[in-house]
Structure 1
Amino acid sequence: MDPISLDDLRAAEQLVRRAMPPTPAFAWPLLAERFGLDVVVKHENHTPTGAFKVRGGLVYMDRLVRERPEVRGIVSATRGNHGQSLAFAARKAGLEAVIVVPHGNSVEKNAAMRAFGATLVEHGRDFDEARDHAVALARERGYEFAASFQRDLVLGVATYALELFTDHPDLDVVYVPIGLGSGICGVITARDLLGLKTEVVAVVAENAPAYARSLAAGHVVETNTAASFADGMAVRIPNAEALAMIAAGAARCVTVDEDAIASAMRIYWTDTHNAAEGAGAAALAALGREAQALKGRKAGVILSGQNVDLAIMAEVMAGRTPQAA
Structure 2
Amino acid sequence: MLELEDVQEARERVAETSRHTPLDYSHTFSRMTGAEVHLKLETFQRTGSFKIRGATNRITTLSEEEKAAGVVTASAGNHAQGVALAATRSGVDSKIVMPEHAPISKVRATENYGAETVLHGEDYDEAAERAHEIEESEGRTYVHAFDDEMVMAGQGTIGLEIVDDLPKVDTVVVPIGGGGLISGIATAVKGHNPDVRIVGVQSEGASSVADSLQKGAVQTLDSVDTIADGIATRSVGQKNFDIIESRVDEVVTVSDSETAVALAYLLERGKTLVEGAGAVTLAATLEEKFDFDENEVVVPVLSGGNIDMNMLTTVIMRGLVETGRYLKIKTVLKDRPGSLRQLLDVIEESQANIYAIQHDRTSRDIAMNATEVELDLETRGQEHVEGLLESLRESGFDVEVLV
Q: Note whether the superposition's TM-score is higher than 0.5.
A: yes
- 1:120 equivalenced with 2:117 (yes/no): yes
- Do the aligned partners of residues 154 and 226 (structure 1) sit closer, same or farther apart at CA in structure 2, a change above 3 Å counting? same
| Correspondent of 1:27 among 21, 25, 28 | 25
Match of 1:140 in 2: 137
Change (3 A) 1:134 1:175: same
Alignment partner for residue 165 of structure 2, among 147, 162, 167?
167
Specify the SS of the correspondent of 2:274.
coil
Cα distance in 1 between the residues matched to 2:113 and 2:320: 30
Kindly tell me: are residues 289 and 10 of structure 1, through their superposed partners in 2, closer, same or farther at Cα, counting changes over 3 Å? same
Contact 1:71/1:144 (8 A) holds in 2? no
Equivalent positions of 1:284-323 (< 5 A) are 284-290=282-288, 293-320=292-319
The 3 A distance-change label for structure 1 pair 26 and 196 is farther
Query: The residue matched to 2:307 in structure 1 has which SS?
Result: coil
Cα drift, residue 296 of structure 1:
2.7
Determine which structure has greater relative contact order: mean sequence separation of CA pairs < 8 Å that are 6+ residues apart, divided by chain length: 1
Task: Give the counterpart letter for 1:203 in structure 2.
Answer: V
1:24-67 deviation per Cα after TM superposition (whole angstroms, max 9, x unaligned): 0011111111212210111111111100010011111110145x
Q: Determine if contact 2:144/2:151 at 8 Å carries over to the other structure.
A: no
Query: Does 2:179 align with 1:181?
Result: yes
Residue of 237, 248, 251 corresponding to 1:250: 248
The alpha-carbon distance between structure 1 residues 5 and 256, as it changes in their structure 2 partners (threshold 3 A), is closer
Distance change in 2, residues 1:201/1:70 (3 Å) = closer
Secondary structure (helix, strand or coil) at the match of 1:49 reads: helix
Moved more, 238-247 or 39-48: 238-247
Which residues in structure 2 correspond to 1:1-325 (within 5 Å)?
1=1, 3-6=2-5, 8-65=6-63, 68=65, 71-148=68-145, 149-290=147-288, 293-320=292-319
Deviation at 1:157, TM superposition (A): 0.8
Tell whether the 8 Å contact from 1:169 to 1:196 is kept in structure 2 after alignment. no
CA shift, 1:208, in A, is: 0.6
Answer yes or no: is the 8 Å Cα contact 1:28–1:271 preserved in 2. no
Deviations 1:270-296 (A, max 9, x none): 221111100000001111222774323
Q: Identity of counterpart residues, as a percentage?
A: 30
Distance 1:62 1:198 in 2: 31
User: In terms of Rg, which structure is larger?
Assistant: 2
Q: Does the CA contact (< 8 Å) of 2:4 and 2:188 recur in 1?
A: no
Quick one: distance in 1 between partners of 2:184 and 2:308?
A: 27
Q: Which amino acid aligns with 1:183?
A: L
- The whole-number CA distance in structure 1 between the counterparts of 2:173 and 2:34 is 16
Q: Which runs of 5+ in 1 are unaligned?
A: none
The answer to whether the Cα contact below 8 Å between 1:99 and 1:120 also exists between their aligned partners in 2 is yes
**CA distance in structure 2 between the aligned counterparts of 1:38 and 1:233, rounded to whole angstroms:** 26
Distance 1:301 1:5, change over 3 A: closer
Q: Which moved more, 1:254-263 or 1:195-204?
A: 195-204
Q: C-alpha distance in 1, partners of 2:130/2:213?
A: 27
Note the aligned Cα RMSD (angstroms).
Answer: 1.7
List structure 1 runs of 4+ shifted beyond 4 angstroms: none
Instruction: Describe the shift of the 1:265–1:11 C-alpha distance in structure 2 as closer, same or farther (beyond 3 A).
Output: same
Q: Give, as a single letter, the amino acid of the residue that structure 1 aligns with 2:90.
A: A
Verify the 8 A CA contact 1:191 1:197 in the aligned structure 2: no
CA contact (8 A) 2:98 2:119 kept: yes
SS in 1 for 2:287: helix
Distance 2:293 2:243 in 1: 25
The TM-score, its normalising length taken from structure 2, stands at 0.76
Distance 1:226 1:69, change over 3 A: closer
Structure 1 residue 321, shift from structure 2 partner: 9.0
1:218 Cα deviation (Å)?
A: 1.4
Task: Report the count of equivalent residues.
Answer: 319
**Is the Cα–Cα contact under 8 Å of residues 49 and 85 in structure 1 kept in the other structure?**
yes
- Which of 69-78 and 92-101 deviates more? 69-78
Unaligned runs of 5+ in 2: 322-403
CA distance in 1, matches of 2:84, 2:93: 8
In 2, Cα distance between equivalents of 1:321 and 1:52: 28
Alpha-carbon distance in structure 2 between the residues aligned to 1:238 and 1:157: 16
Change over 3 Å in CA distance of 1:293–1:193 after alignment to 2: closer
Q: Alpha-carbon deviation of 1:103?
A: 1.2
TM-superposed CA distance for 1:70, in Å, is: 5.5
